């Protein structure tokens, strides 16, 4: 899955930061210090949660950047579209007939992201966060937000929503229908068939 993400990046992406924890040595051995001409830097995760992972890479990030989670596959065209957003933060979003454990995006009257709710939503339909975000270093001026009240795990979606509202930064959805969410071995089989089409490279 990491290789598919790297293959989907356009030529404008020169540097990649991989936040590692579990199986860190295997990942470093596989990709070493560069892949396909791109420099790769590894950072050990020092805080819990998805926001904790991003904050672990804070010192290496400059200006505008993309954040991708490890267990999702994105089409190259969608990465290019979200990277082209100017003057706002953005999240790649997809309408699902059944949400289950995907993060539910709630939009405001202007069509911007107002909330991202996480939890098991069962068979209800909705707009899902694909966990591909466009951000900039202004995010680090806001403290990471716990995933839930009292939690020791810091959630990136929760932090982005609160920071965007507090800092007055528009948070825009960019819609797709090509996100592949990996939650089970069956998802891996489906993903393998889809990536063979070449759409995700």
CATH number at residue 94: 3.90.550.10
What mean pLDDT is predicted for residues 52-61? 96
Q: Is 201 within a domain?
A: no
Number of domains present in the structure of the chain: 1
Encode pLDDT of 99-139 as tens digits. 888 899 999 999 999 999 988 788 889 999 999 999 999 99
Q: Is 14 exposed, middle or buried (0-12, 13-18, 19+ CB in 10 A)?
A: exposed
pLDDT for the residue numbered 198? 66
Q: Is 31 within a domain?
A: yes
pLDDT for the residue numbered 200? 61
pLDDT for the residue numbered 119? 82
Q: Is 80 within a domain?
A: yes
pLDDT for the residue numbered 122? 82
Structural domain of 151: 2-195
pLDDT for the residue numbered 185? 74
Q: How far apart are CA 165 and CA 76, in angstroms?
A: 29
Q: Which of 161, 125, 138, 164 is nearest to 50 (CA)?
A: 161
pTM reported for the whole predicted model: 0.91
Q: What percent of the chain has pLDDT over 70?
A: 98
Q: How far apart are CA 107 and CA 8, in angstroms?
A: 28
Q: Is 45 within a domain?
A: yes
Strand segments, DSSP code E, in 49-157 are 64-68, 72-73, 89-96, 103-107, 113-117, 126-136
Q: Is 200 within a domain?
A: no
Runs of H (alpha helix) within the chain: 2-8, 24-31, 49-56, 76-83, 156-167, 185-195
């Amino acid at each position: 899955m990491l290789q598919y993400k790297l293959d989907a990046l356009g030529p404008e992406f020169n540097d990649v930061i991989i936040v590692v924890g579990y199986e860190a040595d295997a990942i470093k051995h596989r990709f070493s210090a560069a892949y396909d001409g791109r420099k790769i830097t590894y950072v050990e995760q020092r805080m819990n949660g998805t926001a904790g992972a991003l904050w672990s890479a804070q010192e290496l990030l400059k200006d505008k950047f993309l954040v991708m989670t490890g267990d999702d596959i994105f089409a190259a065209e969608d990465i290019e579209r979200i990277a082209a957003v100017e003057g706002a933060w953005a999240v790649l979003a997809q309408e699902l007939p059944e949400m289950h454990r995907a993060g539910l995006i709630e939009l405001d009257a202007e069509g911007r992201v107002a909330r991202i709710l996480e939890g098991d939503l069962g068979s209800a339909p909705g707009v899902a966060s694909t966990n591909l975000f466009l951000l900039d270093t202004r995010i680090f001026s806001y403290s990471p937000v716990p995933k839930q009240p009292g939690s020791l795990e810091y959630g990136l979606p929760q932090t982005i929503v609160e920071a965007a509202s507090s800092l007055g930064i528009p948070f825009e959805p960019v819609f797709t229908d090509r996100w592949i969410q990996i939650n089970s071995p069956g998802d891996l089989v489906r993903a393998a068939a889809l990536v063979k089409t070449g759409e995700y490279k």
